[in-house]
A and B are shown apart, each in its own frame.
Chain A
Amino acid sequence: MGHLIPPSIMPFVLPVVYAVVIVAVLPLLAGYIVLMERKVMADMQARLGPMRVGPHGLLQPIADAVKLLLKEDIIPDKADRLMFWFAPLVSVTMALLAYSALAIGPAFQIADLNIGLLFILAVSSLGIYGIVLGGWASNSHYSLLGALRSAAQLVSYETAAGLALISVLLLAGSLSMKDIVQAQSDQGVWFGFSVPFGFFIYLVGSIAETNRAPFDLPEAESELVAGYMTEYSGFRWSLYFLAEYANMVIVAGIATTLFLGGWLRPGARYHEHIPGTGIEWLDALPALLTLGVALYSLSLAPKQPVKIQKIVMVLVAVLCLGVAGILAGALFAPPAVMQGIHGAFWFMAKVFAYIYAFLWIRFTFPRYRFDQLMRLGWRFLIPLALVNVIGVGVAIVLRQQLAWGPIVSLIPTTLGTLGVAMFLAKDDAPTVAAHLVDGE
């Protein structure tokens, strides 16, 4: 196949293929994350969630997509037409652009930029324009307030998240996603454990950056109706929706790559794994998991009320069986191929675990008020992130000068940051114990 394509375009073929795959898969992925969100929300709230469309609501995302496409696309009469059309476009393109540097598997990466992480940060910071211009163009009081608030929120939480990433980069030493994962594999520890505060700050920062859960103030239903998205409907609204979920997956991707060891299998010792000397049981895990899902869906198939749902359930089972087959087959393939396939599986598993944490937090916490949100951002998170960066720096110096072990050097600094965190948190929000006492 190589000789078919003229040499000058050769380096562009593989990335283009990957890009097409990602852009095609993304809307489907976003749809199924929405379904996952509604299902998880349901069982947290003692109810079933969508069950009507397809078995256990599995076809719900397709139904949503069709609904959104058919919906009438209203433009408010005195709105600024050019900007109204342009804004959602900006936020979607920025969200998709960020995927180019994301390393899903060791082989599956559109472009291994040597400034990968920085590129993603830069592009996601451009996403603000989509929101701000959208709020301005729809020319309604509510959406303007929502847009301004979300812009302020994004700007302030990006600094916190950025600083958290810096603390990890000190350990990883390089900006390219592949090298970061490689560094984690060499040091044998995931950075999430060695820089716990970095992970915590990034978790909070990323929730705020994607306007979710306790920080979803811009589209707080109760006051500003739907924030900057109020006047959008139909396909335009789904663009914003897609951008939000794409951002969520990117943020989860970054967190997985930096803190949860990208595509590394838990307890991975790749360089010691000699092919053919017996398969570590962990490698077989992916195959077994998908096999279990396949059997479970097979057992559910007969119980479906409608005939068509039976068929769909069986199809789902066959699909899972296929994936299990591939994963099992990869075990016996040469290590490069195995790493590629299993790596992708582990990466996706961690991304979904991270998103599950998003959903979990979303359904337990009420919403922050705007000034509390800002106070938390500026007076608690950013100073803590700064201290964390200094802490990691000191740890590295300790390791190099006094030759302490990588872990031993990190412990004192993490405790130091913990102390600072307690001090900062003390006066920030009223501690719970204090007010239970008064008034009783």
Chain B
Amino acid sequence: MQTLNQALFIFFAVLAVASAILMVTRRNIVHSAVFLITTLLSTAGIFLLLEAEFLFIVQIILYVGGIMVLFVFVIMLVNLDVSMRQVQFNRQWFVAGALSLVLALQFLFAIWVGRGALHLHGTDMQIAPKNTEAVADALFSHYMLPFEIASILLLVAMIGAVVMAKRRVG
């Protein structure tokens, strides 16, 4: 079982990184959207490997099934050829390059420092067996208040969106 888990983990990790890179470099927006979806799916795969199936499901339904659908909607409706014509890389690419270099160095440093703790066989960490129940209990018992506040916030956001849309159309 051990080798299978590891093999899957490596597969998902490589997939995630590769599609992330591909997403950034594509010229055609729809292709980059699809690669974003593959990234999200591979992270969901990793959740599953960690036996956090509730997160796996939420990741798929929420991110890929919900938010990304709206992304693709917007991509189709927005007027593409104008943005196509604008020059993709304006003159500040030099500054951008330098900054990303600095960031890369920091990442490397962090990995180098923590190399001791990082061992690949992370899958046998013990998480509460029944993931869904565990999440539910935590959510509705200890973190009741934040949960309610979050839901009200979402409600307000939804109503706001509808009102804005109505005014534009009306």
Contact = CB atoms under 8 A, between A and B. Distances in A.
Complex A–B touching at CB under 8 A: yes
Interface stretch (A113-121, A213-221, A343-351): A113-121
A132 B69 contact: yes
B31 A83 contact: yes
B134 interface: no
Interface string A79-115: 0101100100000000000000000000000000111
A122 B61 contact: yes
A126 B63 CA distance: 11
A136 B77 CA distance: 10
A151 B57 contact: no
A136 B64 contact: no
Interface string A58-84: 000000000000000000000010110
Contacts of A114: 53, 130, 132
A115 B64 contact: no
Contacts of B1: 8
Given A82-B31, A128-B65, A118 B57 contact: yes
Contacts of B30: 80, 83, 133, 136-137
A132 B65 contact: no
B34 A125 contact: no
A73 B4 CA distance: 39
A132 B57 contact: no
B37 to A, nearest CB: 7
Interface string B9-44: 000000000000000000010110010010000000
B111 interface: no
A425 interface: no
| Interface range, B side | 20 to 34
Interface string A141-157: 00010011001000100
B60 interface: yes
A129 interface: yes
A316 interface: no
Nearest to A123: B60
A136 B29 CA distance: 12
B54 A115 contact: yes
A71 B61 CA distance: 36
Contacts, number: 63
A125 B53 contact: no
Nearest to A147: B76
Interface string B83-106: 000000000000000000000000
Given A82-B31, A115-B53, A125 B65 contact: yes
A392 B55 CA distance: 26
Contact of B132 (A129, A155, A175): A175
Contacts of A175: 132
A115 B69 contact: no
Q: Name the residue among A8, A82, A118, A121 with the largest chain B CB count within 10 angstroms.
A: A118
Contacts of B53: 113-115
A140 to B, nearest CB: 13
B137 to A, nearest CB: 15
B69 A155 contact: yes
Interface string B63-75: 0111011001100
Contacts of B69: 128-129, 132, 151, 155
Contacts of B34: 83, 86, 129, 133
Contact of B28 (A80, A123, A125, A147): A80
Contacts of B77: 148
Interface string A25-39: 000000000000000
B73 to A, nearest CB: 7
Contacts of B54: 115
Contacts of A132: 69, 72-73, 76
A122 B132 contact: no
A328 B65 CA distance: 45
A123 B77 CA distance: 25
Contact of B57 (A119, A133, A147): A119
B29 to A, nearest CB: 10
B110 to A, nearest CB: 33
A118 B72 CA distance: 23
A129 B37 contact: yes
A122 B31 contact: no
Nearest to B68: A129
A147 B31 CA distance: 17
A125 B61 contact: yes
B72 A129 contact: yes
Contacts of A133: 30, 34, 72
A179 to B, nearest CB: 13
A151 B64 contact: no
A108 to B, nearest CB: 22
A136 B72 CA distance: 10
Given A118-B57, A132-B69, 7 more contacts: A86-B34, A115-B132, A121-B61, A125-B60, A125-B65, A133-B30, A136-B76
Q: Which 5 A-B pairs have the closest CB atoms?
A: A125-B65, A122-B60, A122-B61, A118-B57, A115-B53
24 contacts: A80-B28, A83-B30, A86-B34, A115-B53, A122-B57, A122-B60, A122-B61, A125-B61, A126-B60, A126-B65, A128-B65, A129-B34, A129-B37, A129-B68, A129-B72, A132-B72, A133-B30, A135-B76, A136-B30, A136-B72, A148-B76, A151-B69, A151-B73, A175-B132
